[in-house]
């Protein structure tokens, strides 16, 4: 009975243990899961190196078949260099990208052949170490740096084209038109750029960059730059991205690369102690160079953001930076007339060009990379031969100093100067056209690749667009455009004003047309009366002629027939009386016809005047109709922009709410799992203790004890499964926390960039 009671007690404990292990939502962990999520995050950021962590794993599981002495598939994993080299099929590990690393897919059994062959996958802890090592850029040893790859940035940069990209030229498609800052007037224009392939102009403002259609002057979008004021704008060679350099004076500086079509940020590099005054991106988009008051050129990897090289020679603020179109050279100019050309890849000095007597404010390379143009406050533009590192042309371009220069694809040069002029030159320094209209010193110039549009910005914050073929065609754009709400109100007011003017013009046109119709009717009536009077006059003329002939005949008869004189005298007197009457009537009809003709001429003149008035009124009405149509279109566009802004705000708010709810749910699940883990661990420990006691007391129940031990091993296996479940939940929690942080960051950037004007 005693043994039976002990056996039943063991069965009861085993059943309790198994029930706890199979309960829904139960979760067990071992020592590996005792750490808090914060500790796990800290371990994830710990540097994982080949020599300390990865090489022992490869030696235990891989080097039997893959070493320098036995290179199956020509792959060796016993040294760092051989691991990076790969095997007969090429590299097996892609830096920063486990999804593109074939070795990782094989050891996780995601692809065949599974590695190690004919074995279970290696421990999950080891796989996690290999995963972290790849994501950290595969550091070799403790002295190596972690290089995290920005896969999102690499994907957004896409294929690189040094010429015109395929398809339509890149233009803003989904960039919001809501400005970050709305000011009464703009500050001095410090940055302008024109797309090399599209009719697109970028204008630097205050905490923002405004994008305009270079031909129509239409606002196409506003890109936030909350880091401060843009000082440098540069389009990539294919026109798909825009590099913004700037910051806050004496505080911070950086460069941000954004997508032209969407306005999305691709990468951000630099953490300067002062604003960035000059920045450029290499033609292959792999590097971003920036410089400013710190007198040092720093070049960063555009994907990882890692500092690649520093160039030190300048002794004063650096105002200008420009990569050559072939990417071989990098030119820089400073405030103390220093002009230096560097080897772009190595950062070694290529040429030190001397000749300017004032600050270098602008640089640009000709499309073939053989000629460099420099603009200086000494008033000259100079051209430099890059093959011989010598000056080949110099001319006085602007009185007071040249502030900016830019090449077009055809080799034309656009320049701006302190004489408030923007000028266009050919490659020999001959003036082609001069563009006027700026009210102060011109600080920046930009020209589209085909030179069809030219823009200039001055000290007063004025930005003017000119058509290349006709300098008289101009448009003004704003560095700090009005908000969507202001544009909605303005377009509505303009629409109402035009509608009112159109109504007045319509009424005037209707009245003029009615007066013209009435005048026409009176003229027709007068014409008819005149025709009747003319007919009567013609009949009287005929009758008068007939009677005159009769009198003449009678006179002849009087001479011939003296004897009949008395009788015929009476007839003559009668005819003479009738003739007098007809003559008087004829005179009266002549006067009536004359008065009728004068009245007709007066009415015709009045009709022509009214008809001209009607035509003018109709023309005014048609012009106001065009303005009305334009105002209606502008009002609709402003309303659409406002709706997009509100929709984006709601979308971010919903995404933030969803992330917060998901984070709360997973946190609750993890808390339940930890509580169940603690309870199960206590139960397991209690069972082990009772089993020990039963082992000491029940030597005769060895068979039952072995069964209990087997049950304990099974429970331990399930415990490990629960540990894995807890680990998976912690990974999900980490991912949810990251997603929530990303969403919150986007929301904060959105609120910071598009805060409503107070």
With a pLDDT cut of 70, the percent of the chain lying above it is 86
The SS3 assignment for 410 reads coil
H or E stretch at 224: strand 219-224
Question: Is 645 part of any domain?
Answer: no
Placement of tokens 């971003």 in the chain: 288
Higher pLDDT, 147 or 3: 147
Distance from C-alpha of 92 to C-alpha of 88, rounded to nearest angstrom: 10
> Within this chain, do residues 13 and 44 fall inside the same structural domain, yes or no?
no
Distance between CA 578 and CA 551 in Å, rounded? Answer: 11
Contacts of 691 (CB under 8 A, 6+ apart): 10, 13, 705, 708, 709, 712
Q: Strand order in 265-272's β-sheet?
A: 229-235, 241-248, 252-259, 265-272
**Mean pLDDT, to the nearest integer, of 169-191?**
89
Q: Looking at residue 9, what is its pLDDT?
A: 44
Q: Is the dihedral of CA 531, 533, 534, 535 positive or negative?
A: positive
526 lies in the same domain as 595: yes
For residues 289-303, average pLDDT: 95
* Number of residues in the chain: 758
In tens, the pLDDT along 35-45 reads 333 343 334 45
Confidence of residue 157 (pLDDT cuts 50, 70, 90): low
> For residues 343 and 408, what is the distance between their CA atoms, to the nearest angstrom?
24
The answer on 319 and 296 residing in a single domain is yes
DSSP 95-158: TTBGGG-HHHHHHTTSSSS-SSTTSPPPPHHHHHHHHHHHHTT---STTSPP----HHHHHHH-
Say whether both 474 and 588 belong to one domain: no
Same domain, 352 and 399: yes
Q: What secondary structure letter does DSSP report for 201?
A: E
User: Is residue 653 one of the residues assigned to a domain?
Assistant: no
> Do the beta carbons of residue 449 and residue 196 sit within 8 Å?
yes
Mean pLDDT, the chain, integer: 82
Mean of pLDDT values over 617-640: 77
What is the pLDDT confidence band of residue 698, given thresholds at 50, 70 and 90? low
State whether 333 and 469 are in the same domain.
yes
* Last residue within a domain, chosen from 431, 463, 481: 481
How much is the average pLDDT of 679-691?
77
d(CA 188, CA 553): 105
Residues 130 and 84 in one domain: yes
Residue 695: which pLDDT band, with cuts at 50, 70 and 90? low
Task: Report the CATH number at residue 503.
Answer: 1.10.287
Q: State mean pLDDT over 104-132.
A: 85
In this prediction, residue 574 carries a pLDDT of 79
Q: Given this model, what pLDDT does residue 570 score? A: 75
- Which has more confidence, 476 or 641? 476
* Cβ-based burial of 298 (10 A; exposed 0-12, middle 13-18, buried ≥19): buried
Question: Are residue 600 and residue 741 in the same domain, yes or no?
Answer: no
Question: Residues of 126-140 as b/e, b for ≥16 C-beta within 10 angstroms?
Answer: bbebbbbbbbbbbbb
pLDDT of residue 104: 87
Q: pLDDT band at 7, cuts 50/70/90?
A: very low
467 and 355 in a common domain:
yes
Express the helix, strand and coil content of the chain in percent, nearest 5 each: 45, 20, 30
| Domain membership of residue 722 as a residue range | 2-30+661-693+700-753
Q: How many CA atoms lie within 13 A of 317 on its CB side?
A: 14
CA distance 454 to 471: 9
637 belongs to a structural domain: no
| pTM (2 d.p.) | 0.60
Residue 79 shares a structural domain with residue 208: no
Q: Evaluate whether 336 touches 379 at the Cβ level (below 8 Å).
A: no
What b/e sequence results for 713-734 when a residue is b if at least 16 CB atoms lie within 10 Å of its CB, and e otherwise?
eebeebbeebbbbbbebbeebe
Alpha-helical (H) ranges within 473-564 are 484-560
CA nearest neighbour of 314 among 330, 332, 326, 300 = 332
Q: Are 397 and 445 contacting, i.e. CB atoms less than 8 angstroms apart? A: no
- Rounded to a whole number of angstroms, the CA Rg of the chain reads 47
Tokens 């266009």, residue?
424
Task: Indicate the range of 465-479, 687-701, 716-730 predicted with least confidence.
Answer: 687-701
In a shared domain, residues 379 and 470: yes
Dihedral Cα 216, 219, 221, 224, nearest 10 deg: 130
Q: What is the pLDDT of residue 18?
A: 41
Placement of tokens 């300390």 in the chain: 52
Of the listed ranges 5-9, 365-369, 436-440, the one predicted with least confidence = 5-9
pLDDT digits 0-9 by tens, 60-84: 888 878 888 777 888 888 888 888 8
Number of domains in the chain: 4
Domain end call among 458, 481, 504: 481
Euclidean distance between CA atoms 318 and 333, whole angstroms:
6
Give me the CATH number covering residue 269: 2.130.10.10
What is the structure's pLDDT at 35?
A: 35
Of 105-109, 127-131, 224-228, 692-696, minimum mean pLDDT range = 692-696
| Helix (H) or strand (E) segment spanning residue 234 | strand 229-235
408-461: pLDDT as tens digits: 999 999 999 999 999 999 999 999 999 999 989 999 999 999 999 999 999 999
Domain stops at, among 430, 457, 481: 481
Say which residue the tokens 């004189």 belong to. Answer: 565
Residues 699-728: what's their mean pLDDT?
73
pLDDT, tens only, 557-615: 666 766 766 766 777 777 777 778 878 777 777 787 777 777 777 777 777 777 777 77
Do residues 381 and 373 lie in contact, with contact meaning Cβ atoms separated by under 8 Å? yes
Predicted pLDDT of residue 700? 67
CA dist 721 and 124 (Å) reads 12
For residue 168, is it within any domain? no
Domain contains 640? no
176 is a domain residue: no
Q: Are residues 359 and 411 in the same domain?
A: yes
Sign of the C-alpha dihedral computed for residues 362, 368, 369 and 370 taken in this order:
negative
CA distance 263 to 522: 67
- Per-residue pLDDT at 630 exceeds 80: no
Q: Which residue has the higher pLDDT, 538 or 26?
A: 538
What pLDDT, in 10s, does the model give residues 464-496? 999 988 888 899 999 889 887 877 777 777 777
The answer to whether residue 58 is domain-embedded is yes
Q: Does 323 map to a domain?
A: yes
């Amino acid at each position: 009975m005693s043994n039976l009671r002990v056996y039943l007690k063991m069965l009861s404990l085993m059943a309790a243990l198994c029930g706890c292990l199979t309960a829904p939502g139960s979760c067990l962990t071992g020592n590996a899961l005792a750490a808090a999520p914060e500790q796990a995050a800290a371990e994830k950021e710990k540097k994982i190196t080949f020599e300390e962590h990865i090489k022992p794993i490869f030696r235990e599981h891989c080097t039997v078949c893959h070493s320098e002495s036995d290179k199956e598939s020509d792959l060796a994993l016993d040294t760092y260099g051989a691991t990076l080299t790969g095997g007969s099929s090429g590299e097996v590990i892609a830096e920063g990208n486990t999804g593109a690393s074939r070795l990782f897919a094989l050891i996780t059994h995601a692809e065949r052949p599974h590695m190690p062959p004919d074995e279970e996958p290696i421990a999950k802890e080891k796989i996690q170490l290999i995963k972290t090592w790849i994501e950290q850029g595969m550091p070799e040893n403790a002295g190596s740096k972690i290089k995290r790859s920005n896969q999102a940035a690499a994907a957004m940069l896409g294929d690189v084209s040094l010429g015109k990209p395929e398809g339509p030229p890149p233009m803003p498609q989904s960039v919001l038109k809501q400005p970050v800052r709305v000011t009464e007037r703009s500050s001095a224009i410090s940055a302008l750029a024109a797309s090399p392939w599209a009719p697109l102009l970028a204008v630097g403002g205050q905490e923002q960059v405004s994008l305009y259609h270079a031909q129509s002057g239409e606002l196409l979008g506003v890109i936030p730059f909350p880091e401060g004021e843009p000082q440098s704008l540069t389009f990539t060679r294919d026109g798909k991205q825009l590099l913004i350099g700037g910051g806050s004076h004496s505080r911070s500086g950086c460069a941000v690369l954004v997508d032209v079509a969407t306005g999305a940020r691709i990468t951000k590099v630099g953490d300067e102690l002062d604003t960035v005054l000059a920045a450029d991106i290499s033609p292959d988009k792999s590097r971003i160079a920036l410089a400013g008051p710190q007198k040092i050129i720093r070049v960063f990897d555009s994907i990882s953001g890692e500092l690649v090289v520093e160039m030190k020679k300048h002794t004063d603020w650096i105002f200008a930076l420009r990569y050559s179109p072939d990417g071989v050279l990098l030119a820089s100019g400073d405030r103390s007339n220093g002009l230096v050309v560097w080897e772009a890849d190595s950062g070694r000095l290529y040429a030190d060009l001397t000749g300017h007597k004032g600050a270098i404010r602008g640089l640009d390379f000709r499309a073939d990379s053989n000629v460099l143009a420099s603009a200086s406050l000494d008033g000259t533009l100079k051209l430099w031969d890059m093959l011989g590192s010598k000056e080949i042309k110099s001319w006085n371009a602007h009185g007071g100093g040249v502030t900016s220069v830019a090449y077009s694809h055809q080799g034309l040069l656009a320049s701006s100067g302190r004489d408030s002029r923007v000028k266009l030159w050919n490659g020999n320094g001959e003036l082609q056209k001069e563009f006027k209209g700026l009210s102060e010193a011109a600080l920046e110039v930009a020209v589209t690749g085909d030179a069809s549009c030219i823009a200039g910005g001055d000290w007063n914050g004025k930005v003017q667009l000119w058509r290349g073929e006709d300098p008289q065609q101009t448009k003004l754009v704003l560095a700090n455009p009005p908000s969507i709400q202001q544009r909605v109100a303005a377009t509505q007011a303009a629409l109402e004003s035009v509608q009112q003017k159109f109504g007045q013009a319509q009424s005037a046109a209707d009245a003029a047309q009615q007066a013209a119709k009435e005048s026409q009717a009176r003229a027709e009536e007068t014409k008819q009366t005149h025709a009747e009077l003319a007919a009567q006059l013609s009949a009287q003329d005929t009758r008068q002629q007939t009677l005159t002939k009769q009198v003449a005949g009678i006179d002849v008869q009087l001479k011939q027939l003296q004897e009949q004189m008395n009788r015929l005298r009476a007839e003559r007197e009668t005819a003479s009386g009738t003739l007098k009457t007809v003559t008087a009537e004829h005179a009266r009809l002549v006067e009536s016809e004359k008065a009728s003709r004068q009245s007709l001429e007066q009415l015709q003149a009045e009709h022509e005047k009214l008809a001209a008035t009607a035509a003018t009124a109709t023309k005014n009405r048609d012009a106001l109709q065009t303005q009305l149509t334009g105002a209606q279109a502008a009002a609709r566009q402003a309303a659409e922009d406002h709706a997009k802004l509100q929709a984006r705000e709601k979308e971010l708010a919903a995404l933030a709410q969803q992330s917060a709810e998901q984070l709360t749910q997973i946190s609750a699940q993890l808390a339940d799992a930890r509580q169940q883990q603690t309870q199960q661990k206590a139960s397991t420990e209690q069972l082990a203790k009772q089993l020990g006691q039963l082992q000491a007391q029940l030597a005769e129940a060895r068979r039952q004890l072995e069964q209990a031990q087997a049950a304990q091993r099974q429970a331990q296996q399930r415990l490990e499964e629960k540990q894995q479940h807890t680990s998976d939940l912690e990974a999900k929690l980490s991912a949810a926390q990251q997603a929530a942080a990303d969403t919150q960051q986007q929301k904060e950037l959105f609120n910071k960039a598009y805060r409503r004007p107070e």
